[in-house]
């Protein structure tokens, strides 16, 4: 039987040739500059390709270069990112852009080790930039790559463990090409995992260029791999959202600069489930006079490690005040970055039920 290295030396050129024939014409592949590769890879973290495309295009239209990104206004940057989630990605993009301008003359460094010193760039993103944009023989190992390798090698190792990822990365590095083939291989393995060796549903082995060399396919055990320990259960968190309204304007506030959704705008909310009387009392404690309080349809939002279960109340107020900004629904939608967690509130304040 072939060793793992021998199997990879046989299979990796097949991935390159396959990808060169079938790759999808995604926007960032049209001109894979270091900046374009970096931006696309950051946006694609935890986000579907279909969702990323319009964000990527709008972002590049606003910030076409590293220099433009380094000078971005924070509020505008967050507004452009609104709905994409994981907002720390956008903040780190700007921090890294500033650092690139100061230390590298506006050009991303070529070596993965230097790339990893930039905010928001870890092993995977550094490998992607180094190989795709610069042709460096540097693997970029994500969940798709781990799944392909686990099936190809029929590996019993838990891909959720950092040690498994490190071993697969080292194994790939021994066999990695350079130049154009490095770029094709990095994108090719990812493409294989996204379109053929898929995570959910039945793998499309008949269309796989590695079918004849895949140990899992050979032993009819594709569904067994990859081995992955289950993630920790998300912690449920009950919150009450207060839609404070006066004369068609609603109260919003900026979240603190650290923690979940840091620096974004939100509708006032508190931990726990409040009764209508408690909700009104909370608003009165902010210096407001409540004239009416009515329950609204609830909302739910799932983060990586926590899920919010949100009750909501509409509270009409006799005037504006408190530690809030008061804005119309159009102003909130157009000018302020409100996280997806509060999208149900945006629907409420734009809905007929709250205008009557």
Write out the catalytic residue numbers: 41
Cα angle 93-97-99, degrees, rounded to a multiple of 5: 120
* b/e 127-140 (16+ beta carbons within 10 angstroms → b): bbbbbbbbbbbbbb
Instruction: Supply the DSSP string of 160-179, one letter for each residue.
Output: TSHHHHHHHHHHHHHH---T
**Residues with Cβ < 8 Å from 251, sequence gap 6 or more?**
242, 244, 245, 267, 268, 320, 322, 324, 325, 326
Instruction: Supply the DSSP string of 245-280, one letter for each residue.
Output: EETTEEEEEEPPSSSTTTT-EE--EEES---HHHHH
Contact criterion met (CB below 8 Å) for 182 and 137? yes
Give the side-chain half-sphere CA count within 13 A for 91.
12
Instruction: Tell me how far apart the alpha carbons of residues 216 and 192 are, in angstroms, rounded to a whole number.
Output: 15
Task: Give the distance from CA 244 to its chain's centroid.
Answer: 31
**Residues with Cβ < 8 Å from 230, sequence gap 6 or more?**
none
Phi/psi for 280 (5° steps) reads -65, -40
Crossing angle of the two packed helices 74-81 and 88-104, in degrees rounded to 10? 130
Instruction: Supply the DSSP string of 179-208, one letter for each residue.
Output: THHHHHHHHHHHHHHHHTS-SSS---GGG-
Report the Cα–Cα distance between both ends of the chain, in Å, rounded. 74
Q: Strands 235-246, 269-271: parallel, antiparallel or unpaired by DSSP?
A: antiparallel
């Amino acid at each position: 039987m072939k060793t793992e290295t021998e199997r990879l030396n046989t299979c990796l050129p097949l991935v390159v040739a396959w990808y060169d024939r079938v790759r999808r014409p995604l926007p960032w592949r049209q001109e894979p500059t270091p900046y374009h590769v970096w931006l696309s890879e950051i946006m694609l973290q935890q986000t579907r390709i279909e969702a990323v495309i319009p964000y990527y295009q709008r972002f590049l239209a606003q910030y076409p270069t590293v220099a433009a990104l380094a000078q971005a206004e924070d509020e505008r940057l967050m507004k452009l990112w609104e709905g994409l989630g994981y907002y720390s990605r956008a903040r780190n993009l700007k921090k890294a852009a500033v650092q690139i301008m100061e230390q590298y003359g506006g050009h991303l460094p070529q070596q993965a080790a230097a790339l990893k010193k930039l905010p928001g760039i870890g092993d995977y993103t550094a490998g992607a930039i180094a190989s795709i944009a610069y042709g460096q023989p540097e693997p970029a190992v994500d969940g798709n790559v781990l799944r392909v390798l686990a099936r190809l090698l029929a590996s019993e190792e838990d891909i959720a463990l950092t040690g498994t990822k490190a071993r697969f990365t080292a194994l790939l590095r021994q066999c990695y090409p350079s130049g154009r083939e490095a770029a094709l291989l990095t994108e090719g393995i990812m493409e294989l995992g996204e379109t053929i060796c898929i995570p959910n549903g039945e793998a499309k082995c008949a269309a796989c260029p590695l079918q004849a060399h895949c140990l899992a396919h050979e032993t009819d055990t594709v569904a067994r791999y990859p081995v992955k320990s289950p993630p920790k259960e998300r912690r449920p968190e009950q919150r009450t959202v207060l839609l404070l309204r006066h004369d068609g304007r609603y109260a919003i506030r900026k979240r603190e600069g650290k923690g979940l959704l840091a620096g974004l705008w939100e509708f006032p909310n508190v931990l726990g489930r409040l009764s209508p009387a408690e909700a009104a009392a909370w608003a009165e404690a902010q210096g407001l006079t409540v004239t009416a309080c009515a329950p609204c349809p609830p909302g739910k939002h799932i983060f990586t490690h926590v899920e919010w279960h949100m009750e909501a109340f509409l509270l009409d107020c006799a005037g504006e005040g408190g530690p809030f900004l008061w804005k119309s629904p159009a102003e909130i939608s157009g000018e302020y970055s409100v996280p997806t967690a509060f999208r149900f509130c945006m629907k409420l304040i734009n809905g007929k039920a709250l205008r009557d």
